[in-house]
Amino acid sequence: MKKTHNKKTCLQRYAPAAVLMLCLLLLPAPLPQPLPPPFIHTAGPLPLPRAPEKTSAFFPVPDALHPRISFWKQVFTEYTRQQVLLHDEYYVNIIYEITDLEKKEEKPWQRVRAAQEKYRNLLKEMDKKWDTPELMPREVRRLFLLYKTVQEIPRFRIRDAQKRVHAQIGQADSFRQGMIFAGRYLEDMKEILRIYGIPEKLGCLPLIESAYNPYAVSFAGAAGLWQLMDFTAKQYGLKMDHIQDQRRDPLTATAAAAQHLKNNYRVLQSWPLAITAYNHGLQGMINAVRSVKSSDISDIISQYEGKSFGYASRNFYPEFLAALEIFANPERYYGELEQEGPAEAEYFTLPHYVSVQSLEKYCGLSAEMIREMNPGLLESAYDPRNFLPKNYLLRLPPDCRIHMEENYTHVPAHLKYAKLPTPTRHRVRRGQTLSDIAKISGVSVRDLARFNNIRNPRTLRAGQILRIPGNTKQLSAFSASGPKKSPRNPLPGKNENRHRVRKGQTLSEIAQIYGISAHAIARINKIRNKKHIRAGQVLLIPEG
């Protein structure tokens, strides 16, 4: 009996612990805890966040940007280029009025400017009577109610709104057309972006830059789908002369833009900052991060006081986010929308300098087809006195390359040239005009201007050196040889010839862009001290 009693006592003693253990085993596993925030490391002079992991969002959408994104979605989908939104330049979603531009109106923007002045006066009165809204006239009180619920940013006081009356033209019609045009290039562009190891969604940037129009040119001189400035384009090896502007070639320009964006991200380690730097400049964003002591795009938009960091730069990333959302759901905003199919093409490498007229006569091509398939060629390329460049990748319709290779052998030897004469040079004398110099040199004013990238002939100055295009009579004929094999679908890559140093760049950073050692660049450029390079300096880049 004593033994049995001891067994019962043992069971009674351990039963509660056993039940508790069983309950714990039946409980669900604890949820995984979030990873600690990324540590801060130093990249050059900047403390920057660690590069995002693969699982992180490339393009975060901060809550503070929602009003801006909403505004740009309206601009891109609700209002056409015949409508102007009058609104607050900083609190962009505060819209005062929508003004319609009448097509037959002689000076419609005079009416817009008059409306801007009207709202400046109304907002001044709102400021004066802010504490006594009951005394405000009806129109002033309407504006007061628009602002009353806004969460004010100290740097942009609501009561200073009269200084921020902005006119934004609608873009729904051009944006919709851009969505259609995107189908021509987007798949090839995504492939190039993949090659350079950057997010494919960056292929949406041309939507806000040019609406996928390769012929787009801005007031500042940016050109092509990606709206590259000539200085930036030359940094990445694009050719611009009186015959071609590769910023207008969709795929070649995409390769340059991809390298530019990748370099921005390599320095800034944030895609919102890298995208904003595409508009504001890399050094500008480095300055912004230093000034605000934050790499959060919302902080920079609300706090950075850089003189050139204005309306366009503040809104560039929100515009991109709005474009991404519209691009993902086009039917929601435009109804049924059918994109154009991919612009399929083959390529033929021109073995010689040859005129468009020779290709028309002997190869069965038309100038209209060449113009349509090769937007990188300028109008001067079709002048009988000019030649398409040797080794130029001529874009042709599908299934035309083999016929082109056969027909090219029929072009007479005296119409194909191994090289063009080196352009002569002319130093502008006091009082000389571009017309005078063109007449002396036996070339047209337009060719002379294009050959020297002169947009305004009135800017010509005494002492300036002009290059004079060679005369065709000086060319020595080159006997025809078999054409080189051409790639069916080439993807442009890096041009590793010269590099102009940008402000803030180091020799190590430049070497990393080209995948070579800083020592190799220093040796070929005879640089003894690798720290002594300056902005604007042109460096020779050896092949990797």
Closest to 290 (Cα-Cα) out of 278, 273, 271, 266:
273
Residue 338 three-state SS: coil
In single-letter form, the type of residue at position 224 comes to G
Each residue's pLDDT, cut to its tens digit, for the chain (544 residues) gives 444 444 445 445 555 555 445 444 444 433 333 322 332 333 333 333 333 333 347 999 999 999 999 999 999 999 999 999 999 999 999 999 999 997 677 788 899 999 999 999 999 999 999 999 999 999 999 999 999 989 999 999 999 999 999 999 999 999 999 999 999 999 999 999 999 999 999 999 999 999 999 999 998 889 999 999 999 999 999 999 889 999 999 999 999 999 999 999 999 999 999 999 999 999 999 999 999 999 999 999 999 999 999 999 999 999 999 999 999 999 999 998 888 988 889 999 999 999 999 999 999 999 999 999 999 999 989 988 889 999 999 999 998 999 999 999 999 998 999 887 666 788 888 888 888 888 877 788 888 888 888 888 888 888 898 888 765 544 443 334 445 555 555 655 444 457 778 777 888 777 766 667 788 788 888 888 877 888 878 888 775 4
Q: Which residues contact 355 (CB under 8 A, 6 or more apart)?
A: 384, 386, 387, 388, 415
CA-CA distance, 520 to 531, in Å (whole number)? 14
pLDDT of residue 106: 76
Name the token pair of 141. Answer: 């009180």
CA separation (Å) from 388 to 16, 124, 350, 351, 379? 92, 60, 8, 10, 11
pLDDT at position 476: 40
Helix (H, G, I), strand (E, B) or coil at 373: helix
Residue type, position 228, single letter: L
Q: What is the pLDDT of residue 475?
A: 47
Give the residue from 490, 517, 513, 491 showing the smallest Cα distance to 502. Answer: 513
Residue partners of 278: CB distance under 8 A and separation at least 6: 205, 257, 260, 261, 264, 316
Quick one: pLDDT at residue 490?
Answer: 60
**Measured between alpha carbons, how far is 368 from 293 in angstroms, rounded to an integer?**
54
* Phi and psi at residue 154, to the nearest 5°: -50, -40
Strands (E), 127-207: 165-169
Q: Residue 251: left if φ>0, alpha if ψ -120 to 50, beta else—which one?
A: alpha
Q: Is 27 exposed, middle or buried (0-12, 13-18, 19+ CB in 10 A)?
A: exposed
The token pair that represents 446 in the structure block: 């337009």
Quick one: angle between helices 282-292 and 250-268, nearest 10?
A: 20
**Residue 405: how many CB atoms within 10 A of its CB?**
17
Burial of residue 352, with CB atoms counted within 10 A of its CB: 0-12 exposed, 13-18 middle, 19 or more buried: buried
Q: Check: CB of residue 111 under 8 Å from CB of residue 105.
A: yes
Place of tokens 């063109």: 438
Question: Tokens representing 167?
Answer: 């006119």
| 280, containing H or E segment | helix 271-280
Handedness of CA 480, 481, 482, 487 (dihedral sign): negative
Give the pLDDT score at 542: 73
Question: Strand 465-468 relative to strand 83-88: parallel, antiparallel, unpaired?
Answer: unpaired
Among the listed residues 84, 220, 198, 234, the one whose alpha carbon sits nearest the alpha carbon of residue 536? 234
What is the model's pLDDT at position 48? 35
What gap in Å lies between CA 25 and CA 92, rounded to an integer? 56
Q: Tokens at residue 451, please?
A: 């050959």
| Cα 359 to Cα 352: distance, rounded to the nearest angstrom | 12
Query: Model's pTM, two decimal places?
Result: 0.72
